[in-house]
Chains A and B, each alone.
Chain A
């Protein structure tokens, strides 16, 4: 079945450590996105990529980094520079940036301990 997979579902990190969240899709989508969601809040865009080896910052990119070496994969690294990383992270993809529908992974809940 085609879809978008995020792993792990739950992640705990000590302060000062970098951590990488995985996002893989087999939908053959060109565009991929990372959103952050805090309790009771909407989705805020961290980074997005329209094509392999290219990505752009979203509204809250500080303290995060991404790569897009393969069409299927768009990992997100939460660095120690991110001051408040505890949140629910959602990865999404669409056929292209203008697409009317985005498909979401099940999310990764990151907790800093």
Chain B
């Protein structure tokens, strides 16, 4: 089977940097994705890592280590609007996206 672990809650100060970790167990691994979901809204795609290393998209970066079955999402220059839930998801190629339970990020002033 497949499973993902990520912290349930994280709190950070506006303007700071926060890292949300994700560890996974899966077979046939293709890549790790990250999605953002605001309360009551739909998840939206943030990033995808298929290879080891860091992918940067504006204030958001995502990292993957395939050998450690580990990745993280890094959010810089936090803004209040970044308060949301963040999900990591595994793409195995054999099954559809499998999501973690999500990390609720609260950005405080």
Q: Residues of A with Cβ closer than 8 Å to B?
A: 31, 33, 35, 40-45, 48, 58, 90, 92, 97-107
Chain B residues positioned under 8 Å from A105 (CB to CB) = 42
Per-position 1/0 for B32-74, Cβ under 8 A of A: 0100000011111100101000000000000000000000000
A92 to B44, CA, bound (A): 10
Interface size class of B (residues with CB under 8 A): 20 to 34
Q: Count contacts between A and B, CB distance < 8 Å.
A: 56
What's the nearest-Cβ distance from chain A to residue B107, in Å? Answer: 18
Partner of B43, one of A40, A43, A98, A99: A43
A97 to B33, CA, bound (A): 14
Partner of B45, one of A40, A44, A101, A107: A101
A98 touching B45 by the CB < 8 A rule?
Answer: no
A45 touching B43 by the CB < 8 A rule?
Answer: no
15 A–B pairs (Cβ distance < 8 Å), ordered by A? A35-B99, A40-B102, A43-B43, A43-B99, A44-B99, A45-B96, A90-B43, A97-B93, A98-B91, A100-B30, A100-B31, A101-B45, A102-B33, A102-B43, A107-B42
